[in-house]
Every structure is written in structure tokens, then in C-alpha cells.
Amino acid sequence: MINEIRSHGLWIVGMSKAVASYIYKCVTCRKSRRPVEEQKMANLPEDRIEDAPPFTFSGMDCFGPFLIKERRKELKCYRLLFTCMASRAVRIEMLDDMSTDAFINALRCFLAIRRGSFKSCAPDQGTNLLGAKNEFERGMKELDVAHLKAFVSDHQCEFVMNAPHSSQTGGVWERQIRTARSISSSLMNEAKG
């Protein structure tokens, strides 16, 4: 603007202050000249960025029921979904029912395939998951202390329970459940036909 005024042969004393004041008061000029906004975001949690094997930090949830046919009977079955917090890898285990024993068996299968324990697991407050957590704690109290210390030093597994009735805290695996449910439903409908 100053160059445009000077190109017409005018030299005004204190022109830069007057132009700056005019631009500051002009809403359109302020919008077009303002700096680019930056996203304000918190740092990612440690379990999302730590360099560790898959499923070291994972989330889990049960979903279902799905109706399956065994001979002439229709049975309900459920799925247990494990999600890696860092890589978003997914592992789905089958549950015969929603009991604590079925959950523990599925967890054993997962750990056997993974060939090791995980550091932290974030399940929701489902009754079968709470029962499994309580059973693990009871079992830990009954074990030999020396053997337990050796085991825990290598394979410490921590259950960090989400708050009850707040599925939004498990958004990572809740979204994976939607995908797995739609795929499972379409495969089961295909198998019926």
C-alpha cells in the first residue's frame, strides 16, 4: 500500500504508522494477513510411541453375540478382540460364552500365539473381564513367592480398567469392533446361503 502511494508521487510523513493503523482496523485485511493457525494437541501417550513388539500395550473388548449352527442347534458365540495400541494390529479370539473361564481360555490362546505376555492391557468393565482380573489376582496370591517374582520380572501383565459405562475411552478398539462385526456378519450371511 505504501509503495502504491509513493508510485503516484506522494510522500506522506508518518505514512507507515497510518497504513499499519488502517490495516489493523480493516477486518478483511486482518483475516488475509494473519498467521496460519497451529493445531493444539497433547502429546501421545507412552503406550502409543514406545518401541516395543506388537501387542505389548493392547486394548481388548468382547462383542457379539453371533448365531452359529452346530448340527441342528443354533448357538450363540462371542468374539474377543485384541488391538495393538501402537500399530493398530487386530487379533480376534472366539468365546463360547461370556463367562470368566471362556475369557481366560481365550486370553491363554492369545498369549500362547503371541509367545509372551503384554505389559499393559486396557479392557472395559465387562463382568467377565472383571471376573478374570479378580481370578488372576487370587491366583497370584496362592502362588509360590519365589517362583512368582521370577515370573513377574519377565512377564508382568497389568490390567488398566476403563471407567464403567464409558466406551468412548476405548475408541481405538471400539472402532475395530465395528469393522470386525460387519465382516463377521457378512461372512456368516454368506455361509447361510
**At 86, which CATH number?**
3.30.420.10
Q: Tell which residue, 16, 83, 81, 94, has the closest CA to residue 54.
A: 83
What pLDDT is stored for residue 136 in this prediction? 60
Whose cell is 467377565? That residue is 128
Shared domain for 175 and 131, answered yes or no, is: yes
Number of domains into which the chain is organized: 2
Q: Is residue 40 part of a domain?
A: no
Same domain, 72 and 139: yes
| 89 and 135 fall within a common domain | yes
Of 103, 113, 111, 57, the closest CA to residue 80 belongs to 103
Question: Within this chain, do residues 7 and 69 fall inside the same structural domain, yes or no?
Answer: no
Q: Are residues 111 and 16 in the same domain?
A: no
Q: What residues are paired with 82 via a beta bridge?
A: 60, 91
Asked whether residue 94 falls in the same domain as residue 164, the answer is: yes
Based on the domain organization, do 100 and 25 belong to the same domain? no
Residue the block writes with cell 493457525: 37
Q: What is the pLDDT of residue 65?
A: 84
129 & 184 share domain: yes
Task: Judge whether 41 lies within some domain.
Answer: no
Please give the pLDDT value at position 102: 81
If asked whether residues 137 and 174 sit together in one domain, one would say yes
Confidence at residue 52, expressed as pLDDT on a 0 to 100 scale: 84
Q: Do both 99 and 13 map to the same domain?
A: no
pLDDT digits (tens, 9 = 90+) for 24-59: 898 988 888 888 888 888 888 787 788 888 888 888
State which amino acid sits at residue 64.
G
Is residue 38 a part of any domain in this protein? no
d(CA 111, CA 120): 13
Q: What's the pLDDT score for residue 95?
A: 86
Label residue 66 left, alpha or beta by phi (over 0 means left) and psi (-120 to 50 means alpha). Answer: beta
* pLDDT class of 152 with cuts at 50, 70, 90: very low
How far apart, in whole angstroms, are the C-alpha atoms of residue 64 and residue 181?
Answer: 8
Asked if residue 145 has pLDDT above 50, the reply is: no
Rounded average pLDDT over 77-85? 86
Same domain, 138 and 184: yes
The DSSP element (H or E) to which 16 belongs, if any, is: helix 15-25
13: containing domain: 2-33
